[in-house]
Amino acid sequence: MRRSNWTPSIVPSTDQTVYLVADDLGPIGRAWREADLEATDLETVIRNLLAGEYCSPIRVVGFNAAEGWSEDGSEDIALELQRRCDLQQIEIPAPIEAFVDRHTGGRRQLTLRLGAGLFPTLGGPV
């Protein structure tokens, strides 16, 4: 039987940026969550975080093997999650609240809604 030194790669062969989420699964431990290749783009990962698809996310790492880089995107993604919740005027979903607080340092980016009644004691908006 002929032996080969070839090992299949788990790295995507296309030139795309992939985002993976490290999740704390409680008593069974921490793991990089498995995802379909088509579901590892930035927008899908953000939507999945907002939808509660992760138990307790720890960090989000992006990489592009074809370009030869990887980066911890947790802070940027946490700020984007905060921004989207502020714009929709909703609370940060419980499963990602600790993630957002940890990676934003508790700072909030408030988005003000313009309209009547912002300054009722002054007779309306300025």
Number of domain units in the chain: 1
30 is a domain residue: yes
Cβ contacts of residue 10 below 8 Å, gap of 6+? none
Could you tell me if residue 120 is inside a domain? no
- The CB density around residue 117, as the number of other CB atoms within 10 Å, is 7
Per-residue pLDDT tens for 81-91? 999 999 999 99
What pLDDT, in 10s, does the model give residues 7-59? Answer: 555 555 567 899 999 999 999 999 999 888 889 999 999 999 999 999 999 99
**Residue 29 domain-assigned (yes or no):** yes
| Inside any domain, residue 31 | yes
Task: Look at the chain and count its residues.
Answer: 126
Can you give the residue range of the structural domain that contains 79?
18-104
89 within some domain: yes
Residue 13 lies in a domain: no
Q: Read off the pTM.
A: 0.73
Separation CA 66–CA 88 (nearest Å): 36
Express the helix, strand and coil content of the chain in percent, nearest 5 each.
35, 15, 50
- Whether 115 is in a domain gets the answer no
Question: Has residue 11 been placed in a domain?
Answer: no
Beta bridge pairs of residue 85: none
